[in-house]
Amino acid sequence: MKTLFVLWALAQTGTSTAPPDGDAPPFTDAQLDWLESMKEQLREEAQSSGGGAPASAPSGVSASALELKAEAYTKWLFRNNTSQGCVTYGNPHPSGDNFAGDNGACPELALTIIGRPTAKIEGSFRIQSRYGQQFADYFENGDLRDIPDASSESLGQNHSAPLQLRGIYVRVAQPVPYVDWFLAGSSDLGMFDPFTVGRVRFIERFNAKGLFLQTSLGEYAKLLLARIALSKLYGTANYNSLEDPLLTNPFWARDAVYAFSLGTLPALADRFSLTVNGSVVLDEEADRDDPDAPGSTNTNDPQDGITAAAPRFLGMNGSVTANLTGFDAFRAKLILALSHNAPSEEYVSNIALGGLGFSNVVYDTNTDLAAIGRFELVDLFGEGSALKLEYFNIGANFNAVVGSRREEDVLLTDGFLEGGQLPTLNLANELIDFNDKFYESCVGWHGGTLVAETTGDFLDFTAEGTFLTYNTNLQDRNMDLYPGFGGFTGYTDTQLFSYANTNDRGRDPRTVYARNQDRLSAIGMAKVRLKPDLWRGAEINLKLKYIFDKDGRDADLEEDDYQGNLLMGDLNLGGQLLDQLSGNVGLSLDSWSEDGRSGTYAGGRANFVDYRTLRLRPYLGFRYSLGALSAGYHLELVTKNVTTSDPVLDASIGPVIRSVGWIAAQF
């Protein structure tokens, strides 16, 4: 029953549009942490499942059980502006979308069916409504356009709340000798790692499709093989659109990711584990010289009914992860990774050239390495304490094209933006609400982090120091090959963030590459949690972070040098108001001093402006839980004042009043 419950609970967390790092229903943070730990425990205990069916039916559970689960979910957004929609940051497609905005009341329905006709066979699917419908749209029929574009509105579907089939799979335990399990259909891709094939982000969980097979090499190792359909979302180059002016068949259904994972089992070494992951991304197009290719101008050769394919993009990634655990006094982890990306100039256009836009690959064949080493001393300063040291070195051209895009974190540091750091250019900072954290690319990062922490009945304390320079430091980089935005911005305000241009699709809010860069940074962070016996469930949380960021940019000029001194602080108090209701109230205060934050080289002369930013954000929140019903509400006010060395650029924003609320019921 434990396995069934955790599978049920995890399925519920995947039915909402809200990511888990925001106010994600239907569980509290503590419940989500418990589910994550239980999920890892189940993975270790049930090697035969690994995403597949159990080898035999659990005791007392009928092998022919049919489970039916449902969730009704509604989210409210409010802000004192004129935008309308169900999610704050939508899809920055040039044609726009019909669901992004700050004012909306949007319902969802999810229905999941799981069937087990025998002890070794399991099948499941989920029907999920799309979150474009709003309460105000109940009596409307949609806005059909003469020419369809990228939005459902153009098809007249913007108010219909269409149901979508998701999460369909069939899995079989021990289908033939020497095979532990086989799965055909949907998976969250969580069996690999962020450096090769990453877990699918929360709102798309279990939407990836593929064929998966796991076998055990005796009692000492397990091997997983997979062929995964390559989503157009990963794009490889110019978002998988066909750039050849003649050919008409882009072979989307043929494009695939081929992956494997080989890991040791405790029978080989109970205190040491080794995992090797690998992936090959193959994006093919029809060979324009083949007369069978639609659109080919080759009329000299006879057609033979066979269409030759040419690689439009080839990507290869591999990683080796060594974990040393089982010792009372210390733990250690080492990750070594390699990436190779090769776009074809014959079949791919250069989206970076002239457009200053986002592309999730460098328009050049390149190979690079990444390394992370982490060492942890346990109970060094007493019970509940730890000292952690990490070294990281991510190559300037390392890129996990189909690696994790969100909701993973490969580095120990709190980082610049707190959401997490990932070794890819293909981040997912779209389709999120204002209270969700932004993720940042750590491509090119090189440095180290030291963290000291302790936990106790009254006090939890964490302190971090990080120093990093950048493998991307370079003069006169060819920006026709590297994606960038052509600007010279400093720290990105993700609280009041707007997309830089319509080609942006989830980039690092501070672009990874620049024509001239000579940058180094330091991060200091401390957070304290007090648990005094002052009121029921009392918590007092204080977090302070200081960032020093320096970039010499053009080495031959001093006028364009950037230096940022960035201070962020947050204080909040929380407690249990009723048996079913908890709440918190807090205040964030941010002060940024940035010399040479942005400017131009117009007329051959560097002209850069200094910025001083003060941002104030008081907020409050509530969480409610009553059996199968959960709800939450977050309200905040934001003001921001900017003074510059050019008074024309001074700005005062706010007060912005905004909130997000949700209610979910399982039945």
Where b means 16+ CB within 10 Å and e means fewer, 538-551 reads: ebebebbbebebbb
Q: How far apart (Å, rounded) are the C-alpha atoms in residues 486 and 488?
A: 7
pLDDT exceeds cutoff 80 at 498:
no
Residue 384 is encoded by which pair of tokens? 């509940």
Of the pLDDT bands very low, low, confident and very high (cuts 50, 70, 90), residue 101 is: confident
Give tens-digit pLDDT for 328-347.
899 999 999 999 999 888 77
User: What gap in Å lies between CA 300 and CA 24, rounded to an integer?
Assistant: 61
In which band, very low, low, confident or very high, does the pLDDT at 542 lie, cut at 50, 70 and 90?
Answer: very high
Residue indicated by tokens 């982000």: 201
For residue 8, what pLDDT is reported?
A: 42
Average confidence score pLDDT of the chain: 84
Q: What is the pLDDT of residues 246-305, one digit of tens each?
A: 666 667 778 899 999 999 999 898 899 999 999 999 988 888 888 988 878 888 899 998
Tell whether 119 is covered by a domain: no
Residue 449 lies in a domain: no
Q: Is residue 12 part of a domain?
A: no
pLDDT at position 505: 44
Residue 283: which residues within 8 A CB-CB, separation 6 or more? 230, 236, 237, 240, 255, 311, 312, 313, 314
Say what the pLDDT of residue 345 is: 80
**128-185 pLDDT, tens digit each:** 887 666 666 655 556 677 776 655 666 766 666 778 888 999 999 999 999 999 999 9
Residue in the structure block whose two tokens are 């899995």: 171
213 inside domain: no
Which is higher by pLDDT, 138 or 76? 76
Is residue 121 one of the residues assigned to a domain? no
Determine, yes or no, domain membership for 515.
no
Give the contacts of 166 (CB within 8 A, at least 6 positions apart).
Answer: 125, 126, 127, 128, 186, 206, 207
Q: Which of 237-241, 307-311, 385-389 has the highest mean pLDDT?
A: 385-389
Q: Is residue 598 part of a domain?
A: yes
Domain with 645, as residue range(s), is 540-667
Q: Please count the structural domains in the chain.
A: 1
Looking at residue 311, what is its pLDDT?
85
- Quick one: which of 591, 590, 586 has its CA closest to 572? 586
pLDDT confidence bin for 588, thresholds 50/70/90 = very high
> Model confidence at 529, in pLDDT bands (50, 70, 90)?
very high
pLDDT at position 242 over 60: no
pTM: 0.86
Query: Does residue 627 lie in a domain region?
Result: yes
